[in-house]
Chains A and B, each alone.
Chain A
């Protein structure tokens, strides 16, 4: 038994406490599980095809470090002003806040960050030293721009061949101004060029530029997109007054006004159909969308469908075109057939089945067919392997012809979205880097994704999602002004505060506050240090962490722990 300094009641302190510091007692040896700081992946980051580091740029934004937030996005996506406006934001669908109240408006925040840097010309410096290899990219749509930019950042000389007079592909010619103003696109393309990417307009491969010219390059990335509208395959579709969605939007975006009648019928349920209908409304016409399934199965972004509805676009569901009729080569009617929903097809959506004898006719002076697009690969000289109408590529975007890669809507497994094209460009750049021998193939580390139940929602009061400001419908349907506005700074900061920041330590000090053994402290750089001599492994810090940035790992043998403590 220990010896007491005091022997009589008069000498004793009022409360029994140890005479020496308890630091000498390594109570950490009781521990059999060990808390460690370990950041995990947020589901939004996994949900983002471009792999934007959303929690990281959100934290920079919260600190009002808008330029750094922008740089953080640019690591994965050189077009945040574009995606902040037109992306279908699958990230938000994965947001852990969604089951709690409403998902965070990530794409609006992305747009805010991009717009904060509209006048900012300083791009992050190229991270690696210049390399001698040159890479040709065919097409300056999102896939081509993304690939060229990532290659430039890796030190390559990237040259984009663009068939049209101006770069951007579908971004420029497929998306109307009211969703994506040209000045935003121009600014971000200029940013990409400033990293050393060279864009050659009016250079159609197989046209003004021979395929053989590409032989001087060390690698080629084919990203010509899908610029050709699919045929409806009904009699009469070549009549005057029948347009394809792509051509119609191309003309509008090129500054021309196509000659259309007052009564416009748009066939299709994707974003092109919606854009065509909303554009027709802006030209003062009556627009009706004809879709063979129902609203639930429409591939267009739900918000866009809602906007179209607000602007007066009408919808006719469960109808399919049978034939187009007219006189003197000019359309006057369309014959439609009623459909009903059958079993789910390969896409998981219920398949439209024709209802026999349900044909009926509708008067029409303009028909716009927007039932999907396909690539034009006629310029390819080799017998490249194709799958359907698309160029076959492997998981690493290689075509089978050494040094030739492809991605975006021209290649297999596209989903027809901007962000997936950006992803294809980014990942193809990595594959090209590997092909050219500057990088060894890595399998990557598997993501540990934070689940909704991992978040300690006690720390997050319910808050509703930001209401995105927009111009009045009366104004939006009469011109090509951008419909949705950028969030104000206050709105962006409030919305960013709704983010749980799943899996990323924000140094909120909850762990330190709750540790009953005062075994957590901060070092000079502000990082947490766990005093494992006194941490008993109770796990309260891990349990309390609001955002799953800590975990408990099994302790080694007693000997190992003691040895570790002696070091």
Chain B
């Protein structure tokens, strides 16, 4: 849906001249078609619900001869990533997809892929970690891979899944780092939406064939990623760190270039909605953003000065963008669909961290909602905004929304009578 700040990811883009055709497809298939358009050369994957249809569709595409790729069936996600690493280091464009426990099994090789500076793109369908078993969405699976050196994007719509896969190869091959694109289980993965499929020739212009800066050559074999001593390891880590820092500008540039060619933009690392004159903003990510847009529209129509910030890129973390927003607003609520046990929600933590050394630091409120696929509805969002409108400061470090508990205080936060009459908060 189109918002006031010009979100172009919805239906507005369907009539753009770059569009070849519009298909009503689920999020997993949006990823599959994007992989085809990106002319990926090697696909290696192991099936796991709710990722399966990503690679199922790809296997059809490859077997029909519509994509000249090697499709490698493997016996585990660990092997899937190993295949991607092997093919990527030999110069191929590689893709895999997984979810939850499968992603956890890949963990060792996620480090290896990033440390090898390989531009692998992976789609991760966010699914809650077991036990207890769940196949529904939350973000702990991908956020557990925070420090592996992978870029992480969270998609709001099926169109954004498609567009982000195309952008991701360009970003990854520019900064030589792997990218994980996350989409919410079922809410995106198995829900059909109209998706504009761009013309192949335009994608080819946008994303030319990969030109690796180094690759394995069996005629001149070398040891890749072999042992080095303490006198050089740190420098190699610094290079990876710098590449991730550099990725911020690349993400913004690629998004602009994409907008020029295809008529859709996602704001780079973050997208703001109704924030220009907002006093209170909610930060969140993925499909909850869509829902929050409705709540924001409703509250705005009632006169409440609220806004929304979509965290699209989690790695690299949008430091400058968040500091700029913090400088303009009075309160920031962060809704995490995840939890770090012994701490708080993870985006909340990260936001606090980037603001500590910022000149202006409004109060931050950390909410946890929607774990294990519990629905986040407009009511959920409005409950959070009510809390924000009614409190100058949070009553606790984490506020669990919708928790079924006898002892826990069930917050009933009616909206204030006068939208303009709330108590003014000061930056600390």
Which residue of B has the minimal Cβ distance to A9?
B235
Task: Flag whether A8 is at the interface (Cβ < 8 A).
Answer: yes
Pick 28 A–B contacts, CB within 8 A, sort by A. Answer: A1-B229, A4-B228, A4-B231, A4-B232, A6-B232, A9-B235, A12-B232, A12-B236, A14-B214, A14-B239, A14-B243, A15-B116, A15-B117, A15-B236, A16-B224, A16-B225, A16-B226, A17-B214, A17-B223, A18-B222, A18-B223, A18-B224, A19-B222, A20-B222, A21-B222, A22-B221, A23-B221, A518-B221
Task: Flag whether A13 is at the interface (Cβ < 8 A).
Answer: yes
Task: Flag whether B176 is at the interface (Cβ < 8 A).
Answer: yes
Q: Which residues of B contact A19 (CB under 8 A)?
A: 222
Task: Flag whether B316 is at the interface (Cβ < 8 A).
Answer: no
Assembled-state Cα–Cα distance A12/B233 (Å): 11
Cβ-closest 7 pairs across A and B: A9-B235, A18-B223, A14-B117, A18-B222, A17-B224, A22-B221, A518-B218
B 195-236 binary contact with A (CB < 8 Å = 1; else 0): 000000000000000000110001011111110110110011
Chain B CB within 10 A, most for which of A8, A9, A14 = A14
Q: Which residues of A contact B226 (CB under 8 A)?
A: 16-18
Task: Flag whether B133 is at the interface (Cβ < 8 A).
Answer: no
Which residue of A has the minimal Cβ distance to B229?
A1
Q: Which residues of A contact B225 (CB under 8 A)?
A: 15-17
Known contacts A21-B222, A22-B222; decide if A16 and B229 are in contact (CB<8 Å).
Answer: no
Known A17-B224, A17-B226, A20-B222; 18 more pairs at CB < 8 Å: A1-B231, A9-B238, A12-B232, A12-B235, A12-B236, A14-B243, A15-B115, A15-B225, A16-B224, A16-B236, A17-B223, A18-B223, A18-B224, A21-B220, A22-B221, A22-B222, A22-B223, A518-B218
Task: Let me know if A12 and B221 touch, CB within 8 A.
Answer: no
Task: Let me know if B228 and A16 touch, CB within 8 A.
Answer: yes
Q: Which residues of B contact A1 (CB under 8 A)?
A: 229, 231
CB distance from A10 to the nearest CB of B (A): 9
Which residue of A has the minimal Cβ distance to B224?
A17
Q: Which residues of B contact A4 (CB under 8 A)?
A: 228, 231-232
**Considering the complex, which residues of chain A in the window 8-67 have a beta carbon less than 8 Å from any beta carbon of chain B?**
8-9, 12-23
Assembled-state Cα–Cα distance A19/B228 (Å): 12
Q: Which residues of A contact B218 (CB under 8 A)?
A: 518
CB distance from B65 to the nearest CB of A (A): 20
The B interface is mostly helix, strand or loop, or mixed, namely loop
**Considering the complex, which residues of chain A in the window 227-279 have a beta carbon less than 8 Å from any beta carbon of chain B?**
none
Which residue of B has the minimal Cβ distance to A8?
B235
Which of B115, B214, B221 meets A13, CB within 8 Å? Answer: B214
Which residue of B has the minimal Cβ distance to A521?
B218
Q: Which residues of B contact A22 (CB under 8 A)?
A: 221-223
Which residue of A has the minimal Cβ distance to B238?
A9
B 309-346 binary contact with A (CB < 8 Å = 1; else 0): 00000000000000000000000000000000000000
Assembled-state Cα–Cα distance A4/B226 (Å): 13
Q: Which residues of B contact A14 (CB under 8 A)?
A: 117, 176, 213-214, 239, 243
Assembled-state Cα–Cα distance A22/B213 (Å): 20
Q: Which residues of A contact B232 (CB under 8 A)?
A: 4, 6, 12, 16
Size category of the A interface is: 10 to 19
Q: Which residues of B contact A17 (CB under 8 A)?
A: 214, 222-226
Task: Let me know if B223 and A12 touch, CB within 8 A.
Answer: no
Assembled-state Cα–Cα distance A16/B236 (Å): 7
B 167-181 binary contact with A (CB < 8 Å = 1; else 0): 000000000100000
Chain B CB within 10 A, most for which of A4, A6, A9, A23 = A9
Chain B CB within 10 A, most for which of A4, A6, A17, A518 = A17
**Considering the complex, which residues of chain A in the window 195-235 have a beta carbon less than 8 Å from any beta carbon of chain B?**
none
Which of B213, B221, B224 meets A21, CB within 8 Å? Answer: B221
CB distance from A17 to the nearest CB of B (A): 5
Task: Let me know if A12 and B222 touch, CB within 8 A.
Answer: no
Q: Which residues of A contact B231 (CB under 8 A)?
A: 1, 4
Which residue of A has the minimal Cβ distance to B236?
A16
Which residue of B has the minimal Cβ distance to A2?
B229
B 114-154 binary contact with A (CB < 8 Å = 1; else 0): 01110000000000000000000000000000000000000
Assembled-state Cα–Cα distance A22/B232 (Å): 20
Q: Which residues of B contact A8 (CB under 8 A)?
A: 235
CB distance from B53 to the nearest CB of A (A): 25
Which of B214, B220, B239, B243 meets A12, CB within 8 Å? Answer: B239
Assembled-state Cα–Cα distance A14/B243 (Å): 9
Assembled-state Cα–Cα distance A205/B393 (Å): 122
Task: Let me know if B224 and A15 touch, CB within 8 A.
Answer: yes
**Considering the complex, which residues of chain B in the window 152-200 have a beta carbon less than 8 Å from any beta carbon of chain A?**
176
Assembled-state Cα–Cα distance A133/B213 (Å): 76
CB distance from A385 to the nearest CB of B (A): 65
Q: Which residues of B contact A9 (CB under 8 A)?
A: 235, 238-239
CB distance from B88 to the nearest CB of A (A): 11
Assembled-state Cα–Cα distance A4/B230 (Å): 12
Assembled-state Cα–Cα distance A298/B231 (Å): 83
Chain A CB within 10 A, most for which of B220, B231, B239 = B239
Which residue of B has the minimal Cβ distance to A4?
B232
CB distance from B348 to the nearest CB of A (A): 33
Q: Which residues of A contact B221 (CB under 8 A)?
A: 21-23, 518
Which residue of A has the minimal Cβ distance to B176?
A14
Q: Which residues of A contact B222 (CB under 8 A)?
A: 17-22
CB distance from A551 to the nearest CB of B (A): 25
Which residue of B has the minimal Cβ distance to A13?
B214
Q: Which residues of B contact A518 (CB under 8 A)?
A: 218, 221
**Considering the complex, which residues of chain A in the window 389-425 have a beta carbon less than 8 Å from any beta carbon of chain B?**
none
Q: Which residues of A contact B117 (CB under 8 A)?
A: 14-15
Which residue of B has the minimal Cβ distance to A24?
B221
Task: Let me know if A15 and B214 touch, CB within 8 A.
Answer: yes
Q: Which residues of B contact A18 (CB under 8 A)?
A: 222-224, 226
**Considering the complex, which residues of chain B in the window 53-67 have a beta carbon less than 8 Å from any beta carbon of chain A?**
none
Assembled-state Cα–Cα distance A165/B223 (Å): 79
Assembled-state Cα–Cα distance A16/B213 (Å): 13
Q: Which residues of A contact B176 (CB under 8 A)?
A: 14
Assembled-state Cα–Cα distance A6/B232 (Å): 9
CB distance from B86 to the nearest CB of A (A): 9
Assembled-state Cα–Cα distance A467/B229 (Å): 67
Assembled-state Cα–Cα distance A20/B222 (Å): 7
Assembled-state Cα–Cα distance A6/B231 (Å): 11
Which residue of A has the minimal Cβ distance to B232?
A4
CB distance from B174 to the nearest CB of A (A): 12
Which residue of B has the minimal Cβ distance to A19?
B222
Assembled-state Cα–Cα distance A1/B220 (Å): 23
Q: Which residues of A contact B229 (CB under 8 A)?
A: 1
Q: Which residues of B contact A23 (CB under 8 A)?
A: 221
Assembled-state Cα–Cα distance A22/B220 (Å): 8
Q: Which residues of B contact A20 (CB under 8 A)?
A: 222
Which residue of A has the minimal Cβ distance to B116?
A15
Assembled-state Cα–Cα distance A9/B226 (Å): 17
**Considering the complex, which residues of chain A in the window 277-333 have a beta carbon less than 8 Å from any beta carbon of chain B?**
none
CB distance from A238 to the nearest CB of B (A): 74
Which residue of B has the minimal Cβ distance to A518?
B218
Which residue of A has the minimal Cβ distance to B233?
A16
Assembled-state Cα–Cα distance A13/B212 (Å): 13
CB distance from A354 to the nearest CB of B (A): 63
Assembled-state Cα–Cα distance A9/B236 (Å): 7
CB distance from A540 to the nearest CB of B (A): 13
CB distance from A130 to the nearest CB of B (A): 54
Q: Which residues of B contact A13 (CB under 8 A)?
A: 214
Q: Which residues of A contact B224 (CB under 8 A)?
A: 15-18
Which residue of B has the minimal Cβ distance to A14?
B117
Chain B CB within 10 A, most for which of A4, A13, A16, A22 = A16
Assembled-state Cα–Cα distance A14/B115 (Å): 9
Q: Which residues of A contact B228 (CB under 8 A)?
A: 4, 16
Which residue of A has the minimal Cβ distance to B223?
A18
Assembled-state Cα–Cα distance A108/B220 (Å): 50
Which residue of A has the minimal Cβ distance to B213?
A14
Which residue of B has the minimal Cβ distance to A1?
B229
Q: Which residues of A contact B116 (CB under 8 A)?
A: 15
